[in-house]
Amino acid sequence: MTDSPLTHFDSAGQAHMVDVGAKQETARVARAAGTITMQPATLALIREGTAKKGDVLGIARLAAIQASKRTGDLIPLCHPIALTRVAADFVIDETQHAVHCEVTAECFGRTGVEMEALTAASVGLLTIYDMCKAVDRGMRIDNIRLLEKKGGKSGHWQAD
């Protein structure tokens, strides 16, 4: 196991939190995205702001930001990170009857913010589902993925 590329396992194959103490602090940025697809009438409720529970996208934005700050509590081996910025943007797509979510998370630290961005995108989309499930239980969350990460020893990575 000592040659394993999986950093969350020690030489005995046991799960552990990676020691980032010797890493250099750098500016870190990650962008993640996902989509929720729904019935046209559900999308109209979101667009028009007439959903029974209120401003769906506004609440989803707050949920995404809050989730990013709680990632270390949700993902067992993630380090708690002092985030410096989180932005969650939602775009209504009329042709696909969908809402696209993109989150940018930033920090200055010893480990990346990919999990924070991914968690935020996931929870933002789940919040849309929660707020609209009374009218559309068939909504589908898809394509949650990392778009880009910058900073640290591994440098810049961008999805194709």
List active site positions: 130
User: Using CA of residue 129, residue 130, residue 131, residue 134, what is the dihedral sign?
Assistant: positive
In angstroms, rounded to a whole number, what is the distance separating the alpha carbons of residues 157 and 160?
10
In angstroms, rounded to a whole number, what is the distance separating the alpha carbons of residues 94 and 40?
8
| % helix, strand, coil for the chain, step of 5 | 30, 30, 40
- Selection from 52, 59, 32 nearest residue 124 by Cα: 59
Give yes or no for a contact between 127 and 63, defined as CB atoms under 8 angstroms apart: yes
